[in-house]
Every structure is written in C-alpha cells, then in structure tokens.
Amino acid sequence: MSLLRGANLAVRFLVAELGALVATTYWGYETGSGLTRLLLAIAAPALVVTAWALFVSPKRKYDLAKPARLVIELVVLGGASVALWQVGHPWLGLAFAAVAAVSGTLNYIWE
C-alpha cells in the first residue's frame, strides 16, 4: 500500500501541482496580448501557488478541515483544466481533470 501512496504522491506533484502551473501559465500567454500576455502568464500561476501554499500543501499556512482543502484543491485543478480547454486543448483538459480528480480523491482517502 505504501508503494501506491508514494506513486500517487508523485503523480499528484508532477501532474496536478506542476501541471497546474504549466497549464495556467500557458493559458495566460495564449489569452493575453502585449503587456496583458505577460501579466496573465505571471499572475495565473502565482494564484495557483498562493492558493496551494496557503491551503493545500503539506506545509500549508492555514489548516482547514479536509473537505474544505479538497474543495480548494478541486477548484485550483479544475481551473487549470478549464484553462487548457479554453486555449484549444479540450482532451488534454479532460485528461488533466481525470488524473487530478483520481489522485486528489486517493490522497483525501489516505490522508
């Protein structure tokens, strides 16, 4: 079981956390133009990092109840999925959402 938990944590970090940063940065770059492009490409992943660090990460600043943390996690990762969909990658957005939902649910159960 601990091997599965470790694998899930690796998937969670690589796909969910880093994937959300890449997805939102890409969304910001593709959505904006000129200075707006730069601002969105910086602000969107900064929002992801802030929400994750404050409420979801193992070293989070605010320790909310498990259901509240799960909701925040799903909102952050769901936003990354929608961002991929919006910039023309619907299947990638769906795949990202599926992997994030399964990994997040397993983490919720095992935590």
Q: What is the pLDDT of residues 40-68, one digit of tens each?
A: 999 999 999 999 999 998 899 999 999 99
In which band, very low, low, confident or very high, does the pLDDT at 18 lie, cut at 50, 70 and 90?
very high
Q: How far apart are alpha carbons 43 and 64 in whole angstroms?
A: 24
Which tokens sit at 84? Answer: 């991929």
Overall number of domains in the chain: 1
Domain that includes residue 46, residue range: 2-110
**Phi/psi of residue 55, nearest 5 degrees:** -125, -20
Structure letter (DSSP) for residue 14:
I
Angle of helix 35-51 versus helix 66-86 axis, rounded to 10: 160
Confidence of residue 111 (pLDDT cuts 50, 70, 90): confident
